[in-house]
Structure 1
Amino acid sequence: MCNMRYSKLQILLLLCTVVGFAILFLDLRPATTYVTFPSSNTIHRFSEVQPNLRFSANIFAGIKDHFFPSQCKPALSVVFVKTHKTGSTTMSSVINRFGFSRNESFLLYKNDTSHGHFRQTITSDVRELLPPLGISSGEYDSYRDFDIMSSHVRFLPNIEFLRKYMRQGSRAITVLREPTRQWESAFIFFNCAKMMQILHRNATEKIDTFFTSPLAYWNSTVDGQCKYYSRNGMWYDLSSNAAIHTNESEVYRELEILDQTLDLVLITEYLDESLLLLKKLMCWEYKDILYVTLNQRNATSVLNMYHEDQIRKWNRADVILYDHYNKTLWRKVQEYGPSFEQDLAHFRTLLKEYIMLCGIGDTIHRSKNRISFVAHNSSSLCQSLVSEGNSMIVKRQKTPLHL
Structure 2
Amino acid sequence: KTNLVFLKTHKTASSTVQNVIMRFGSTRNLTFALPIRGHIMGWPRLFRKSYVLQEDLAKKNTTYNILCHHMRFHHEHIRELIPDDTVYSTIIRDPVYMFESIFTYMWFDKQFGINSTEPLKTFLEQPFHFAKSGKRDVQRYRNPMLYEFGNMRTESDSDESIEFDIDRIEKIFSVVMIADYFEESLVLVKHTLCWDINDVTFFKINARKNESIRSMTADMAGKIRQWNRADAMLFDHFNKTLWS
Are residues 1:188 and 2:94 paired?
Answer: no
Cα contact 1:186–1:229 (8 A) shared by 2? no
Are residues 1:243 and 2:243 paired?
Answer: no
Show the counterpart of 1:313. Answer: 226
Residues 238-277 of structure 1: per-residue CA shift (max 9 Å, x gap): 1x43133441221111111111111010001111111111
Show the counterpart of 2:121. Answer: 208
Show the counterpart of 1:269. Answer: 180
Partner amino acid, structure 2, of 1:148: I
* Equivalent residue in structure 1 for 2:42, among 103, 118, 124: 118
Show the counterpart of 2:71. Answer: 153
Taking the aligned partners of 2:11 and 2:160, their CA distance within structure 1 comes to: 26
SS of residue in 1 equivalent to 2:6? strand
Show the counterpart of 1:167. Answer: 83
* Equivalent residue in structure 1 for 2:57, among 124, 129, 135: 135
SS of residue in 1 equivalent to 2:5? strand
What is the TM-score of this pair, normalised by structure 2? 0.93
Cα contact 2:49–2:81 (8 A) shared by 1? no
Change (3 A) 1:116 1:241: closer
Are residues 1:281 and 2:178 paired?
Answer: no
After TM superposition, list the pairs within 5 Å mapping 1:56-71 onto structure 2.
none
SS of residue in 1 equivalent to 2:90? strand
Show the counterpart of 1:177. Answer: 93
Show the counterpart of 1:51. Answer: none
CA RMSD of aligned residues (A): 1.7
Taking the aligned partners of 1:195 and 1:254, their CA distance within structure 2 comes to: 29
Change (3 A) 1:130 1:195: same
Show the counterpart of 1:100. Answer: 26
Taking the aligned partners of 1:241 and 1:275, their CA distance within structure 2 comes to: 26
Change (3 A) 1:278 1:123: closer
Taking the aligned partners of 2:41 and 2:243, their CA distance within structure 1 comes to: 31
Taking the aligned partners of 1:294 and 1:123, their CA distance within structure 2 comes to: 24
Partner amino acid, structure 2, of 1:149: L
Change (3 A) 1:228 1:103: farther
Taking the aligned partners of 1:77 and 1:108, their CA distance within structure 2 comes to: 15
SS of residue in 2 equivalent to 1:165? coil
Partner amino acid, structure 2, of 1:114: G
Cα contact 1:78–1:172 (8 A) shared by 2? yes
After TM superposition, list the pairs within 5 Å mapping 1:295-310 onto structure 2.
295-299=206-210, 300-310=213-223
Structure 1 regions of 5+ residues with no counterpart? 1-74, 332-403
Residues 263-303 of structure 1: per-residue CA shift (max 9 Å, x gap): 01000111111111110110000110001111111121100
Asked which structure has the greater RCO (Cα within 8 Å, sep 6+), the reply is 2
Q: CA deviation at 1:153?
A: 1.5
Show the counterpart of 1:258. Answer: 169
Residues 103-144 of structure 1: per-residue CA shift (max 9 Å, x gap): 21112231xx23243322224454x32128x625xx5x24x3
Change (3 A) 1:114 1:303: same
Change (3 A) 1:171 1:209: same
Cα contact 1:107–1:130 (8 A) shared by 2? yes
Taking the aligned partners of 1:288 and 1:245, their CA distance within structure 2 comes to: 42
SS of residue in 2 equivalent to 1:76? coil
| Percent identity between the two aligned chains | 30
Q: CA deviation at 1:223?
A: 1.8
Structure 2 regions of 5+ residues with no counterpart? none
Report which of the two structures shows the higher radius of gyration computed on alpha carbons: 1
SS of residue in 2 equivalent to 1:211? helix
Taking the aligned partners of 1:217 and 1:116, their CA distance within structure 2 comes to: 27
SS of residue in 1 equivalent to 2:54? coil
Cα contact 1:108–1:151 (8 A) shared by 2? yes
Change (3 A) 1:281 1:245: farther
Residues 81-110 of structure 1: per-residue CA shift (max 9 Å, x gap): 001111111111111111122221112231
